Structure 1
Amino acid sequence: MANEIIGNLDGQNLRIGVIVSQFNETITARLLKGAREAANSHGIKEENITIVFVPGSFELPAAASKMLETSNWDAVVALGCVIRGETPHFDLVASESARGISEVSRKFGKPVIFGVLTTNNMDQALARSGGFAGNKGFDSMSTAIKMVGVFDGIEKFTNINGAAE
């Protein structure tokens, strides 16, 4: 029989860092509201959440790295919004913020969740930050909670059964 490791939505006793881009603040404030609602509904105490604001989505990976370097967070949720414009700037910021967030997660062995909307226009961003398409801030916090459980499960399984060769 296969071994299965599945994260759950039990956020009790978790410490979560949330980093929020101030660029496109109309959208990122809605994402943060969704993330806080998810944390509350999954049992994370308000005092176990630290929120850091950065100028833009490009700065999210550096802030996530600093948070994990200086304190023992269970996970970090990075929230931002990049809306396509007329120049290649969108592609650079969207790509580098995604790459950087993934890199920080691998470097520190902790869940760092990419909660950055990359949309073609403001209507799409509004839809995904509490509109008809849900709230990706809520989804990102829920993903962080589940991934803490997955990481813990992998660690426990490895400690019991020995490291994979």
Structure 2
Amino acid sequence: MPHGDGRPDQGIWEVRGPAREFTHSCVVVWAAFDRWCGAVPNSASTAPSNAGPPSETRSAATSSSGASTPNSAHTPSTRTYTQYFGGTEVDASLLVLPQVGFHDPTDAGMLGTVAAIEADLLRDGLVLRYRTEVPVDGLAGRVDYDDAADAITAMEDRGARLARTGNEAAATAVSGAGR
């Protein structure tokens, strides 16, 4: 298994900083294996020779890639999932857990996670990916928009900078996202 096997991650979708076992990365790996298992026939007699390992192996790989996530990424005292195994912070990427079928959206742990995301990451109707005040990001300082208009202005400024590089498609996408 390429990831989700207990090795720390510094993937491009995660915050900058030390390698950690990020919950989102492990869940995405679990979802990929889960979908793969559903796409390939379960019977070894009907599976094409290039379909991958036998169903028992696929089933074990799927369950093992997600097996440690509920325990290692869940904080029972706050009933929340965390950004990375053993951490204390929430991350908006945790909202995908029920979307990919990893967790029941009505479970107390998921409801606690949503409540924590609302309390910690909701700013003027916008959800931050993670809190920048926490040193895990690898950056100093804090991003703080007084209101949604400042965020839209920042996106338009970013779009203008991209346009100057000649990347019109990205410039349009970025500056148009705030409208």
TM-score range, shorter chain: under 0.3
More helix by share: 1
More strand by share: 1
TM-score (norm 1): 0.26
Higher relative contact order (CA 8 A, sep 6+): 1
TM-score (norm 2): 0.24
